[in-house]
A and B are shown apart, each in its own frame.
Chain A
Amino acid sequence: MDILLDIFASANFWAAAIRIATPLIFGVLGALICERAGVLNLGIEGIFVAGAMAGWLAVYLGAGLWGGVLIAALAGAMFGLLHAFLTVILGLSQHVSGIGITLLATSASYFTYRTTLPDVSSPPRIAPFQPIAVPGLSELPFIGPALFQQTLFTWLALALVAVVAFVLYRTPLGLAIRAVGDNPASVEAQGLSVRGLRIGAVVIGSALMALGGAFLTMSAFDAFFFGMVNGRGWICIALVVFASWQPGKALLGALLFGAFDAFQIRLQAEIGQVVPGQVFLMLPYLLSILALVLVARKADYPRALLQPWTKGQRH
């Protein structure tokens, strides 16, 4: 038990949990916006890869760090636009289109990487976002090192949670987005464009997803490797359900997963000689499934999720 207490009482543990959670916060927010508007976006895993590659490559080629963030978001938005065209305009299966986007974005990213840097022997490094100390706050015991040794990229994620929550619940635009995923007929009755709102939501949501990938290559690490997204996008799809499509709970879910992962890393190193390491690797996913089972029984899906809309349709 001492081991567990030691782990949870360590500020570095919580700092690690927040670092691990950051890409998930972006991803789960992005998925949440798409699904709130009624569109499932399984392109998320590939859009993560595209964001990771585009942001890093842009910085490597001379764009500043924030320029890289912008490029990553644009890359995500582009794939979001494609997904929106297929699912909103053409009304095709959101599952099939999403998986297709994941495959396309993953391959296109590697293709771009390879054609841009054909002769590199190992991926070139960039100077990534550095942790920033907030004067005064960083010296606080425990909370200082846990919270205030993060990069600006992490702060961007936390800020976006507030922004998304505000827009969704406090603005007419947010009301329209929520309505378009629950009852598109009511939106059309207001004279608003269901398709326009959905396309916008998918594009913005996909841009956020791409930032999750960009965090991996521009803050958590400093180079792009094929396969480094490693399923983080899929986790976000599960986290959205866990979060009941609410930004606040989405933040909680991402932090919970980050904590599970930071926990298993430490536990594996501490008592790996007693229990096989694979058990620990399984732990975050197992706990996530457990959390899902408990929460998803009451899952309140957006009513019009997966349903395409044709202008003028009666129901």
Chain B
Amino acid sequence: MNKNQKRGTKMGNLNRRTLVAALGLTTALSLTGASWAQDVPKVAAIWTVPVEQQWASRLHNALVAAEDRGEIDYVYSENITNTDYERVMREYAEQGIALMVGEAFGVEQPARTVAADYPEISFLMGSSLPPVEPNFATFDNFIHEPSYLTGIIAGMKTETDQIGMVGGYAIPEVNRLMHAFMAGALSVNPDVTFSVSFINSWYDPPKAKETAFAMVDAGADILYAERFGVSDAAKERGIFAIGNVIDTAADYPGTILASALWHGEPMIDQAIADVKAGTFAARDYGIYAFMEYGGSSMVVDEELAGAEAVEAAKAVEASILDGSFVVEINDSEPSSTQ
């Protein structure tokens, strides 16, 4: 299929909804004027999961907070399947938004195609691939630094020297957190071994729980909880768990030793500021998840973890913040050790 034919098909696909949206846009612009849109930029987010999912919630909450401060107009769609993702992107694009936030992990190429079709819109998308000039910026949750710190806590706290780790899918954004956690634990306790399992689902808490039970049966006394369900198993069996992305300590009293938290605000606020200032560029916004920018942090239950472990973790935290220690980023698939 040559280029012209392709364009012809695209025009043919122009449906009634798009036309209505386009008409609505024209009307809106003529009524309000484009300058108004710049003062309070309209931001659209498209999530492939419900907004209460850990990952999406970090950014969703940051966007809601920005709207509450009156900085943006925020609209979003949740639970959009990857097959539907491009259509929803185009519908929002036709509504004259200034910034689109979302996740391109399952739609890397289509998302970039849409971005190319709407050069006036800034795109900030979760992605495993590089940004594309001029308007397609990328990000990811780089919280490997606090993950390393929680590893230190777990490594010092384990008595059986066995740690169980349950993940969703073995993809880079999960793998690097697990590797950092393992490196942190090994840095203080070379004897520790890890059981690693993936359940190949983001949302199957009963299965995650069963997987965690199996690890406890095999002797693990600390669980790395990448998914919902794992901390439940830890609580039921009276052992400890390490949290990830969000702080769930209140839901599992006496269970969560420490958590590696992701904060969406530094990146979202930076992106909004860049859009307003007209300096939004196709770059990697993932760095705003680094501890240096306040995009991630470790929270630790000092009573459960004990002073010694907390002290060791805080010491490394300080050297990460002053730049004297760099946590390695390893995206390869982790596996059990013996």
Contact = CB atoms under 8 A, between A and B. Distances in A.
B164 interface: yes
B228 interface: yes
B218 A266 contact: yes
A228 B197 CA distance: 18
Nearest to A272: B336
Given A216-B206, A222-B232, A227-B201, A271 B336 contact: yes
Contact of B336 (A122, A220, A270): A270
B200 interface: yes
B141 interface: no
A214 B217 CA distance: 26
A125 B251 contact: yes
User: Which one of A20, A123, A225, A226 has the highest number of Cβ atoms from chain B below 10 Å of its Cβ?
Assistant: A225
B89 to A, nearest CB: 21
A122 B49 CA distance: 12
Interface string A243-283: 00000000000000000011001101111110011100100
A171 interface: no
Interface in B107-147: none
Interface in A220-239: 220-223, 225-228, 230
A67 B213 CA distance: 29
Interface string B30-63: 0000000000000000000110100001000100
A269 B210 contact: no
B170 interface: yes
A12 interface: yes
Contacts of B202: 227
Contacts of A228: 203-206
Interface string A121-142: 1110100000000000000000
Contacts of B207: 230
A46 to B, nearest CB: 15
A19 B200 CA distance: 19
A16 B61 contact: no
A189 interface: no
B264 interface: no
Given A20-B210, A278-B200, A122 B79 contact: no
Given A19-B210, A123-B52, A230-B207, A269 B251 contact: no
A103 B333 CA distance: 34
B197 A265 contact: yes
B337 interface: yes
Contact of B197 (A10, A110, A114, A277): A277
B194 to A, nearest CB: 9
B79 A220 contact: no
A123 B246 CA distance: 14
Contacts of A19: 210
A281 B198 CA distance: 8
B52 A120 contact: yes
22 contacts: A20-B210, A121-B57, A122-B246, A220-B206, A221-B206, A221-B229, A225-B50, A225-B204, A225-B205, A226-B50, A227-B201, A230-B203, A265-B210, A266-B214, A266-B218, A268-B197, A268-B211, A269-B195, A270-B218, A273-B335, A277-B196, A281-B198
Given A228-B206, A269-B218, 9 more contacts: A12-B213, A16-B214, A110-B50, A226-B49, A227-B204, A273-B335, A273-B337, A277-B196, A281-B199
Q: Which 8 A-B pairs have the closest CB atoms?
A: A220-B206, A269-B195, A227-B203, A273-B335, A272-B336, A221-B205, A12-B217, A265-B214
